[in-house]
Structure 1
Amino acid sequence: MDDLREQYLRANQYRDLAFVERPYLGSPGAPAQDESNTSRLWAHLNGGFLMAHEYTRWWEESRALRTTAVLGDWSWLNKVRITGPHAEAFLDRISAKSVLSQQVGATRFTPMLSAAGRIAIEGVALKLADDDFLFTQSGAQFWLPLQAQRLGMDVHLADQTPDWTCFALQGPQSLPVLEAVTGESFADLRFSRWRRTTLFDTEVIVQRQGVTGEIGYEFLMRTDTGRAHELWRRIRDVGRDVGLRELGYRAQMIGHTESNVPTVIRDYLPDRFPADKLPRFARLWATDDELAALDHDLTEHLVTPAELGWSRAVDLDHDFVGRDAVRAEADAGGPTRRWRALVWDADDVGELFAAQFRDAPAPPAPDQAWGQFRLQFHRVRRDGEAAGWASAAAHSPTLRRMVSHARLDAGLQPGAEVTVDWGFPGSPTWRLRATVSEQPLLPDHRRDDPVAAAAARGE
């Protein structure tokens, strides 16, 4: 698969090659995905990767996540291999979550911070062997080398983004599909654990992981044999017996909002650029008009782990970049804002849609499952006064409501009534009512015993 790696490297030469010279490249599963991508549309994601926009209908795909199973493609996430005699020490130093107790066969959520204690990048690290980790998250191929250079540690970093798939099988029926595909039992595999298997004469790591709030598994298959599309096809075809649907990009992010998954760009900005460079980064995700209309500084959206509800992912008893700032925040009583959800008023949202068919000016209605990483932070108000930000707004077919994430003043408790400023440059701004809710909006089943869960459903 040298050709895939060459295309990937060319696609990432943002500053050296013109746009027309940088290739698009299909996911390793693209030949099979093309068979069922009825939208005939492909989203352009990290490093030139293309992803099917909508396989069947976005609302059917979203509901299947909660009722049967879905197969989604996260292969576009960057993957960096960390090896060398100081690999563990290096990862421990740059991660707010210590990895010193992490065992081979385990996966750990490892948020990484700036010196100011704000999120620079976050992802998961698989421990493959002693001093051998695979870290997955967008931007890792840039951030990790910068940290290695700054710390001067003996560590080898290799961008392996095109070398592995990340096919996510998620939902209540994911275990029987997994076992039918592999011919092996995975009932005893706990959350954030992984094991190796072989499919289509190719090494595959199966990890129990996911960002959907459901029991789920991810297939990290080596791409060098060129058989990843056969794996995608087998999972899809086997899963049809239980109602599995492929999950397109249009519906993919609905699950993030329903399941309390803060996502960079959609919910916050990463603190890995000088303040004067942040607008340039934000321009990738917003129009010039939208940025010009901002009435606040973009640094407002740089956040600490506690502000996103990630305090449990921080180990203050080990030395890591940003620890002093995190400790100071905790000593001061915690962040001034807390991570919440908002359930938007159905009548107000309905009126917004109805207004599109009347003569009076009105802001545009929310896109139905827009699915893109667009920079959209909407001001939240309590009794007319600014009280935080709403983000990642999505129409949930499962909840039958417009819902969103929110970073709100710490004093705002679940049940509080607020309004959300909804408007765009050149349009009026409406204040839509919403109710503050706890996170997540749906029960978190990621750590459930899949056998017991099936029995409880009468299966």
Structure 2
Amino acid sequence: MTEIKQFGFGPQIRKSPYFDATLRWGAQGFSVYNHMYIPRDFGDPVENFWTLIRTAILCDVAAERQVEITGPDAAAFAQLLTPRDLREMEVGQCKYTLITNADGGVLNDPIALRLGENHFWFSLSDSDVLLWAQGLAVNSGLDVTIREPDVSPLQLQGPMSGEIMKTLFGEGIGDLRYFRLREVMLDDIPLVVSRTGWSSELGYELYLRDAAYGDELWERIMAAGAPLGLKPGHTSAIRRIEGAMLSYHADADSDTNPFELGMDRLVALDAPIEFMGKEALKRIRAEGVTRKQAGLRIDAPPLAAPNTSFWPISRDGETVGKATSAVYSPRLEQNIALALVGVEHARLGATLAVETPDGWAAAQVVEKPFYDPKKRRAAAV
């Protein structure tokens, strides 16, 4: 363990239940996500990446706040939030969803979890969807309660995560399928465990249901995982870009629609369901989009760090889009990026130019995800 550093946080930015533990275990930098500090630096991000794909990392993602929906009309209201068809969603199932506004813009891309017939969580990326949902409920005519529960997730991700979970919960946890959840106890610690995560690797999310146990839970997991190579870490920009996983506010926002992102499969326009933005999305589908998300390979020396601003993309001197997430992948030995570009420039093999901090560089549109496109690693038993 490293020497604990002091951070001066105001009370308006919340600390997670794992905050003190992450400091003890070497957290060196934080950013703000959903009005909460989230660890972003445990040392070398490349080492963090290799640990993730070779053994396992434990990440404090308590900032992924939950919107909880309960009440007799919970299922109808959950459907109102998302264009994904939830009619066949079972109790104990998770689904990746989009939340759209009246114009068809993406407000969030949460994981929906169904804990009961009339009990849902939407596990949020960074935006104030709790307020959106509470406002939507007021005039919905539906009998629901919308609140933020005392729930704080951790992510245990990497190929050894399954064995660590068995050490903690017994062999039976190995039966938990991809995108399924289970309510469990770790002695006195109440949890919901799901086979999900933001890494494109085999992984689990452990949703702590009582913040008082945060420190104990962190230490229990680290102790169980130590013999298997578990390290404290942070969500890996390298791995999530390899997997073409969205980062909200970077790769999508309320001015981006699902069709631009190639997420047509998450928009059930022809199903007999009602959701916010349905008419707008029908119009967008009929008219077509003018830009699309594309994967890029950037031909330049290895990028020193992920981008912290949007990088202009040009073709023959004309701006045609922007790189939204860019990073050097040491596994692929390539600079890779997600980008939004005009549809005529999104075809595979198209050549473009990207303005990086070191100047303009040639780029080519390539297939995405950049690695393991069928998610075999994440879905592995």
TM-score between both structures, scaled by the size of structure 2: 0.89
Corresponding residue number in structure 2 for 1:52: 39
Within a 5 Å distance, the mapping from 1:407-426 to structure 2 comes to 407-411=340-344, 412-422=346-356
What is the CA–CA distance in structure 2 between the aligned matches of 1:93 and 1:84, rounded to whole Å? 14
Segments of 5+ residues of structure 1 without an aligned counterpart are 1-18, 271-301, 351-365, 424-428, 452-459
What is the CA–CA distance in structure 1 between the aligned matches of 2:162 and 2:90, rounded to whole Å? 24
- Give 1:446 deviation, angstroms: 5.7
Corresponding residue number in structure 2 for 1:229: 215
Q: Is 1:450–2:380 an aligned residue pair?
A: yes
- Show CA shifts across 1:355-383 (max 9, x none): xxxxxxxxxxx66257xxx5x22221223
The structure with the largest alpha-carbon Rg is: 1
Corresponding residue number in structure 2 for 1:456: none
Alignment check: 8 A CA contact 1:111 1:119 kept: yes
Instruction: Select the structure that is richer in helix.
Output: 1
What is the CA–CA distance in structure 2 between the aligned matches of 1:52 and 1:112, rounded to whole Å? 26
- Give 1:24 deviation, angstroms: 4.1
Instruction: Select the structure that is richer in strand.
Output: 2
Amino acid of the structure 2 residue aligned with 1:235:
I
CA distance 1:23–1:118, shift in 2 (3 Å): closer
Identity fraction in percent: 29
What is the CA–CA distance in structure 1 between the aligned matches of 2:208 and 2:9, rounded to whole Å? 30
Within a 5 Å distance, the mapping from 1:153-192 to structure 2 comes to 153-160=142-149, 163-192=150-179
What is the CA–CA distance in structure 1 between the aligned matches of 2:263 and 2:118, rounded to whole Å? 26
- Show CA shifts across 1:285-340 (max 9, x none): xxxxxxxxxxxxxxxxx1110111211111111222211222222233x4222222
What is the CA–CA distance in structure 2 between the aligned matches of 1:386 and 1:57, rounded to whole Å? 34
- Give 1:176 deviation, angstroms: 1.0
TM-score between both structures, scaled by the size of structure 1: 0.74
Higher mean C-alpha deviation, range 84-93 or range 19-28: 19-28
Aligned-partner SS, 1:219: strand
Q: Is 1:377–2:310 an aligned residue pair?
A: yes
Aligned-partner SS, 1:166: strand
Within a 5 Å distance, the mapping from 1:299-448 to structure 2 comes to 302-316=255-269, 317=271, 318-332=273-287, 334-346=288-300, 349=301, 368-369=305-306, 374=308, 376-411=309-344, 412-422=346-356, 430-444=359-373, 445=375
Corresponding residue number in structure 1 for 2:180: 193
1:90 aligned to which of 52, 77, 100? 77
CA distance 1:25–1:331, shift in 2 (3 Å): closer
Amino acid of the structure 2 residue aligned with 1:415:
G
CA distance 1:380–1:449, shift in 2 (3 Å): closer
Alignment check: 8 A CA contact 1:58 1:369 kept: no
- Show CA shifts across 1:256-275 (max 9, x none): 222111222112322xxxxx
What is the CA–CA distance in structure 2 between the aligned matches of 1:449 and 1:442, rounded to whole Å? 14
Corresponding residue number in structure 2 for 1:240: 226
